[in-house]
Amino acid sequence: MSSLGIARLDIENALHRLDVRRPQLLRRTPLMKLPGKALSLDCAEVWLKLEQLQLGGSFKARGMLNRMLANEIPASGVIIASGGNAGIAAAVAAQALAVPCEVFVPLLASTAKRDRLRQLGASVVVTGAAYSEALEACLLRQRASGALLLHAYDQLEVVAGAATLAAEIEATAGLPDSVLVSVGGGGLIGGIAAWFEHRARVVALEPTLAPTLFQARQAGHPIDVLVSGIAADSLGAKRIGEIAWNVSQRYVKDALLLSDEAIRAAQLWLWSELKLAVEPAAALGLAALQSGAYRPRVDERVCLILCGANLDPASLVVGRHPRSEDGHPGLDPGSSATPRMDCGSSPQ
Residues 215 and 94 placed together within one structural domain of the fold: no
Q: How many domains does the chain have?
A: 2
Evaluate whether residue 155 is within a structural domain. no
Contact 295, 38 (CB under 8 A): no
Q: What pLDDT is recorded for position 236? A: 84
Distance from C-alpha of 287 to C-alpha of 270, rounded to nearest angstrom: 10
pTM of the predicted model over 0.85: yes
Residues 17 and 73 placed together within one structural domain of the fold: no
Distance from C-alpha of 109 to C-alpha of 82, rounded to nearest angstrom: 8
Q: What pLDDT is recorded for position 21? A: 75
Residues 305 and 337 placed together within one structural domain of the fold: yes
Residues 103 and 135 placed together within one structural domain of the fold: yes
Q: What is the DSSP string of 26-63?
A: -----EEEEEGGGGT-SSSEEEEE-GGGSGGGBTHHHH
Q: What is the CATH number of the domain that holds 124?
A: 3.40.50.1100
Distance from C-alpha of 52 to C-alpha of 57, rounded to nearest angstrom: 5
Give the CA dihedral 292, 297, 300, 306, nearest 10 degrees: -10
Q: What pLDDT is recorded for position 310? A: 85
Residues 120 and 216 placed together within one structural domain of the fold: no
What range defines the domain where residue 231 resides?
A: 8-55+162-342
**Helix-strand-coil percent breakdown of the chain, rounded to 5?**
45, 15, 40
Residue ranges of the chain with per-residue pLDDT less than 50: 1-3, 322-338, 343-348
CA pseudo-torsion sign 186, 191, 197, 200 = negative
Residues 101 and 241 placed together within one structural domain of the fold: no
Of 150, 179, 213, the domain-final residue: 150
- Three-class secondary structure of residue 77 per DSSP: coil
Beta carbons within 10 angstroms of residue 143's beta carbon: 10
